[in-house]
Structure 1
Amino acid sequence: MNQAHLHQLLNHSPILASLFGLVVLLIALLKGNAVLTRTGLVTLLVAALLAVPVQLTGEGAEEIVEDRPGVTHALIHAHEEAAEAAFWAIEVTGALAMLSLLMLGRQASRAGLLSKLTLAGALLSFGLLARAGNLGGQIMHPETRHDVVSDTLGH
């Protein structure tokens, strides 16, 4: 198993975990449910941890696929830039989630505010992760590219 294979196996996990954490945390905050709030925060922390091996295998995956037919430097660069922004967004969100959990455990007065800030970070993170995933998919899946889809549809 090489780094490209590992990257492909792992890359969906932080995207899906961040979406799940976002939805659970949103419902929790709307309902005022402390157990769901903790569940959403833990899920976002897990999403941040899952992003680490995805980020670490990205460079190795690039080296394996960069010379394949149909793979361009522009596609790789766009994905790489988007992935970098997404990675740091989910890491900050994970740190906010951890702080929120600590504050909730101490019943701090600003725990709710920090949980809402974590929710905002989760929304941003999910959007950036989804964009990075979409751009990454275009590298090895030409059928997802706009120019290929347009050509096949005769547009």
Structure 2
Amino acid sequence: MNAAHWHLALNHLPLILPIAGLLVLGVGFFTKSEVVKRTALFLFVVCALSTLAAMRSGEEAEEFVEELAGFSHDFIHEHEEAAERFALVAYALGALSLVGLWASYKRKGFARAIFIAAFPLAVVALWMGRETGTSGGEIRHTEIRETANQTPATPETQEAEAEHE
């Protein structure tokens, strides 16, 4: 497996784990189960770790992909910027979750506040992860780009447009 393949294999975890964690955390709030809420925090920690792995493999994949013909550096750069923003949120969610796990096990009074704070932060991570995933997909999958529904400019269409002006 080359660097790009590793990145493609790893990059889905940071996108899926916030969804799973949010679902588990919601069940934990509904059932008032400390164990279930701790499981959600554990998933958020794993999300942060998988984000680290995806970021590392992404740097190596960038070097590999830039050597291939037909790839736009602009799309790669946009994806990299989105990934860096997402990573900061994922790392913050992971750190908050570690503190929350510790507080929950030690039965600290502020553990409930951390469970509550983790929920909106995970929603933000999920949204930013979607943005990152979409921008990454646009590197190779031209059909999902915003311009995909536009007719490509050909010499004939350019002539026709020039005649109408």
The two structures have a TM-score, normalised by structure 2, of 0.86
Q: Secondary structure at the match of 2:151?
A: helix
Whether 1:81 aligns to 2:92 is no
| Counterpart Cα distance in 2 of 1:131 and 1:30 | 29
**2:94 matched residue in structure 1:** 94
| Counterpart Cα distance in 2 of 1:121 and 1:139 | 27
Q: Secondary structure at the match of 2:47?
A: helix
**2:50 matched residue in structure 1:** 50
Report the alpha carbon displacement of residue 134 of structure 1 after superposing the two structures with TM: 0.7
Larger mean CA deviation between 102-111 and 114-123 belongs to: 114-123
Show structure 2 runs of 5+ residues with no match: 153-165
Show structure 1 runs of 5+ residues with no match: none
Q: Could you list the per-position Cα deviations for residues 44-74 of structure 1 after superposition, in whole angstroms to 9, with x for gaps in the alignment?
A: 1111111111000111111121243442121
| Counterpart Cα distance in 1 of 2:103 and 2:151 | 54
Q: Secondary structure at the match of 2:24?
A: helix
Q: Which structure has the greater CA radius of gyration?
A: 2
**1:33 matched residue in structure 2:** 33
Please give the residue correspondences for 1:2-151 in structure 2 after superposition, counting only pairs within 5 Å.
2-151=2-151
Larger mean CA deviation between 78-87 and 68-77 belongs to: 68-77
Letter of the aligned partner of 1:8 in structure 2?
A: L
Q: Secondary structure at the match of 2:150?
A: helix
Identity of aligned residues (%): 33
